[in-house]
Chain A
Amino acid sequence: MSLPIEIPQGSALDRTFRVAGPLAVLALVVGLPYLVPSFRLGQVTAALILAIAVVGLNLLSGFAGQISLGHAAFFGLGAYTTGVLQVHYGWSAPSTIVVGMVMAFVAGVLVGLPALRLRGMYLALVTLAVGVLFPSLIRRFDDLTGGATGLFGVDVTPPGIAYFSGHAGRTVWMYYVSIAGLALACLVVWNLMRGRIGRAVVALRDHETAAIVVGVNRAFVRTVVFGLSAALASMGGSLYALNVGILTPDSFSLLLTINLLVAMVLGGTASYWGPIFGAFIIYFVPIWTADAAQGPVAGALFGVVVIIMVFTLPAGLAGGGKKLLSKVVVRSKPSMSGRAPMSGSADPDMGGRLNEPAGV
């Protein structure tokens, strides 16, 4: 049989795959705590939390095409909101996450306002300023934030079930919480991008003037997307605070922003699975290369890999994987001639540029 193998759309095989895919993901998610040791599960949790922030960044930079060099600030805002409210005021964790998200939404809208007038390099500068400003503000208001020495004692209390008791139980609990957070973030982005606002977002990115002419409310769409993106990053930050327990301003430096950006690009800009792949790569690859090579060598290699990726896989791993898959298996249109070929409703491809062959 010659490649690619054609699977007719709507055939039994096609339906099997479409059901089996989500089931396999679900099985992996539920089964993972039983499959890997506790410390590894903790690492997976950290990567999941990072993924939430990358999903948020991807909404802004990938789908909406607005560069942000300041997402570490929104991540940090969530982390410190949770930390301060819990340590100083004794709030419960869930409410602090919500407060953090609301604050980050407002902050995101405020940062998004100048973004209405600026694009490309200048927008990158505004967000860079915000990103660099954040750690110094944390250091300055040290009576609240603990300053450079850090904020200690953030913790999560799992529900009082035996399954979640003890240190290992806490790890499992945080894992499930992070999965839920990531699922929520993905759902928000997925729903948003499939709807009216999503089409407006892509239209604004690909041809601003044309989008405005056909009636897209540019100011509303741009600022709301900025706010939502910040809120998602903030949710990641809150979970980060609960997970690690100690917050220092250096954890939210420009380096974190760079990591988030690299994760997004490696995974696949403007794709749904890309940010998750990217976050896992950015988290686990340094751990593995640290075993293979000394610190600086690993860093240099990492930079080179990113450059190669930008050239060879402009659509990231998600895009590259999809392309590879399409060489092996394709879903062909049903051969009934009477039906209009209305494909694409469930196709995650709408993130691709409308007027360019390849994304980024």
Chain B
Amino acid sequence: MDLLLDRLIDGFNNGVIYGFLGLAFVCVYRGSGHLNMAQGEMAMFSGFIAYSLYQIGFPVVGAVLASAVIAFVAGLAIERTLVRPFGRGHASDYPVLMITVALFLAINSLAGVIWGGEPLAFPAVVPAGPDDYVSLFGSRLRYQSLAFVGVLVAVLAALWFLFYRTRVGLAMRTATSNPESAQLVGIRVSRMSALGWGMAAFIGALIGSLVAPSTTLTTGMMFNFLIYAVVAATLGGFDSPPGVVVAGIAIGIFENLVASYVSIVGSDLKQAVALMVMLVVLMVRPYGLFGTPKVERV
């Protein structure tokens, strides 16, 4: 029983990260309708920037927030210079995908050039000693993961507020669902797209800094999460922030339980479980469990 609870909590902790990074995909998708393969690398790079800011004397929280702001600006810049020139719609899928793949390579290598290949110890925002946990029926809920959940809830609330209670959010939703009509009623579609990329980079920076204390800061720290975040975003629906978070947590728990209790799967095929879920979802409901189907006129 205790073991089951431990496994549930483990899965939950991972799932929160998947869902969180999935949110970044949602923002990009809502902005320009693309898939940013470099999302994880941007998060990793922001983590390194936060580390450097901390090194030159910023307080930890200040360093994290400052790096998130830098990431936001960088996200805007990337959208403006590397994504927008290709326009929107299916014709732009391929070049933008190539651009983000190239960004993936470039950012990853650049981090290696600047900070070297050695893993760095990232300062924890909340106490992360061996005794810093809340006991729950004998299982440990670490402060670290609680803080992560707290930030996630805050971001989710902020996103919901933005999308559903502000004019900018309404404009963003309009721009995604029907760019041409949006433009006709005076919405600057390209600005919405930039905003989406900026927000995604901002969220990514928070994740990078929050994950780093437990994974250590390395150039490869986000590889694994990237795949899972894509799965979470697919399962939840690329246009549904709460859906993606729920899906991320569900996947984290599900894969952990399957890997623990189904012997043929084991730890080697843990990722495969998540990917199979994604394949099934794409076959049956490509717009995700909580997403809205996209109706296209041809």
List residues of A whose CB falls within 8 A of some B CB: 61, 65, 67, 114, 117-122, 124-126, 128-130, 132-133, 136-137, 139-140, 208-209, 258, 261-262, 265, 294-300, 302-304, 306-307, 310-311, 314, 356, 360
Give the distance to chain B from A202, nearest Cβ to Cβ, in Å: 15
Please indicate the chain B residues that have their CB under 8 angstroms from the CB of A117 in the complex.
283, 286
Give the distance to chain B from A9, nearest Cβ to Cβ, in Å: 33
Q: Check B283 against A310 for contact (C-beta < 8 Å).
A: no
Over the window 14-45 of chain B, the binary record of Cβ atoms lying under 8 Å from chain A Cβ atoms (1 yes, 0 no) is: 00000000000000010001110000000000
Which of A121, A137, A298, A314 is in CB contact (< 8 Å) with B109?
A298
Please indicate the chain B residues that have their CB under 8 angstroms from the CB of A295 in the complex.
109, 112
Q: Is the CB of B120 closer than 8 A to any CB of chain A?
A: no
Q: Check A137 against B269 for contact (C-beta < 8 Å).
A: yes
In the docked arrangement, what's the CA distance between A311 and B106, Å? 16
29 contacts between A and B (CB under 8 A): A65-B94, A117-B283, A118-B286, A119-B90, A120-B90, A122-B286, A124-B97, A126-B279, A129-B276, A130-B279, A133-B272, A261-B101, A262-B98, A262-B102, A296-B112, A297-B113, A298-B109, A299-B112, A300-B112, A300-B113, A302-B105, A303-B106, A304-B106, A306-B105, A307-B82, A307-B99, A310-B102, A360-B95, A360-B98
B230-286, CB < 8 A from A: 230-231, 234, 266, 268-269, 271-272, 275-276, 278-279, 282-283, 286
Please indicate the chain B residues that have their CB under 8 angstroms from the CB of A314 in the complex.
95
Please indicate the chain B residues that have their CB under 8 angstroms from the CB of A261 in the complex.
98, 101
In the docked arrangement, what's the CA distance between A184 and B234, Å? 38
> What is the size, in residues, of chain B's interface with A at 8 Å between Cβ atoms?
44
In the docked arrangement, what's the CA distance between A360 and B99, Å? 12
In the docked arrangement, what's the CA distance between A360 and B98, Å? 10
Please indicate the chain A residues that have their CB under 8 angstroms from the CB of B99 in the complex.
307, 310
Q: Is the CB of B295 closer than 8 A to any CB of chain A?
A: no
In the docked arrangement, what's the CA distance between A299 and B275, Å? 28
Q: Check A140 against B268 for contact (C-beta < 8 Å).
A: yes
6 cross-chain pairs, A with B, having the tightest CB-CB distances, nearest first? A303-B106, A299-B109, A296-B112, A303-B105, A306-B102, A300-B109
In the docked arrangement, what's the CA distance between A132 and B230, Å? 12
In the docked arrangement, what's the CA distance between A258 and B112, Å? 19
Give the distance to chain B from A223, nearest Cβ to Cβ, in Å: 14
Nearest opposing residue in chain B for A356, CB measure? B91
Q: Check B282 against A265 for contact (C-beta < 8 Å).
A: no
Over the window 82-107 of chain B, the binary record of Cβ atoms lying under 8 Å from chain A Cβ atoms (1 yes, 0 no) is: 10010000110111011101111111
Give the distance to chain B from A260, nearest Cβ to Cβ, in Å: 11
Q: Check B275 against A133 for contact (C-beta < 8 Å).
A: yes
Which of A120, A133, A306 is in CB contact (< 8 Å) with B98?
A306
In the docked arrangement, what's the CA distance between A314 and B33, Å? 21
Please indicate the chain A residues that have their CB under 8 angstroms from the CB of B227 in the complex.
128, 132
In the docked arrangement, what's the CA distance between A143 and B138, Å? 39
Which of B98, B108, B113, B234 is in CB contact (< 8 Å) with A125?
B234
Nearest opposing residue in chain A for B93, CB measure? A120
Q: Is the CB of B110 closer than 8 A to any CB of chain A?
A: yes
In the docked arrangement, what's the CA distance between A302 and B109, Å? 9
List residues of B whose CB falls within 8 A of some A CB: 29, 33-35, 82, 85, 90-91, 93-95, 97-99, 101-110, 112-113, 117, 227, 230-231, 234, 266, 268-269, 271-272, 275-276, 278-279, 282-283, 286, 298
Nearest opposing residue in chain A for B265, CB measure? A140
Please indicate the chain A residues that have their CB under 8 angstroms from the CB of B266 in the complex.
140
Majority SS of interface residues in chain A?
Answer: helix
Give the distance to chain B from A225, nearest Cβ to Cβ, in Å: 16
Give the distance to chain A from B58, nearest Cβ to Cβ, in Å: 26
Q: Check A114 against B282 for contact (C-beta < 8 Å).
A: yes
Please indicate the chain B residues that have their CB under 8 angstroms from the CB of A114 in the complex.
279, 282-283
Give the distance to chain B from A347, nearest Cβ to Cβ, in Å: 23
In the docked arrangement, what's the CA distance between A134 and B127, Å? 39
In the docked arrangement, what's the CA distance between A23 and B113, Å? 46
Q: Check A262 against B268 for contact (C-beta < 8 Å).
A: no
Please indicate the chain A residues that have their CB under 8 angstroms from the CB of B34 in the complex.
121
In the docked arrangement, what's the CA distance between A159 and B108, Å? 45
Please indicate the chain B residues that have their CB under 8 angstroms from the CB of A137 in the complex.
269, 272
In the docked arrangement, what's the CA distance between A295 and B227, Å? 25
Nearest opposing residue in chain B for A129, CB measure? B275
Which of B93, B105, B278, B298 is in CB contact (< 8 Å) with A67?
B93
Give the distance to chain B from A143, nearest Cβ to Cβ, in Å: 13
In the docked arrangement, what's the CA distance between A67 and B8, Å? 36
Taking each of B85, B98, B109, which has the highest tally of chain A beta carbons within 10 Å of its own beta carbon? Answer: B98
Q: Check B110 against A310 for contact (C-beta < 8 Å).
A: no
Please indicate the chain B residues that have their CB under 8 angstroms from the CB of A65 in the complex.
94
Taking each of A119, A261, A299, which has the highest tally of chain B beta carbons within 10 Å of its own beta carbon? Answer: A299
Q: Check B35 against A129 for contact (C-beta < 8 Å).
A: no
Which of A121, A208, A307, A310 is in CB contact (< 8 Å) with B106?
A307
Q: Check B90 against A265 for contact (C-beta < 8 Å).
A: no
Which of A120, A125, A298, A304 is in CB contact (< 8 Å) with B230?
A125
Contacts A136-B268, A258-B105, A296-B117 aside, 4 further interface pairs with beta carbons under 8 A come to: A125-B35, A129-B275, A209-B298, A303-B103
In the docked arrangement, what's the CA distance between A310 and B99, Å? 7
In the docked arrangement, what's the CA distance between A295 and B109, Å? 8
Give the distance to chain A from B175, nearest Cβ to Cβ, in Å: 17
Nearest opposing residue in chain B for A353, CB measure? B91
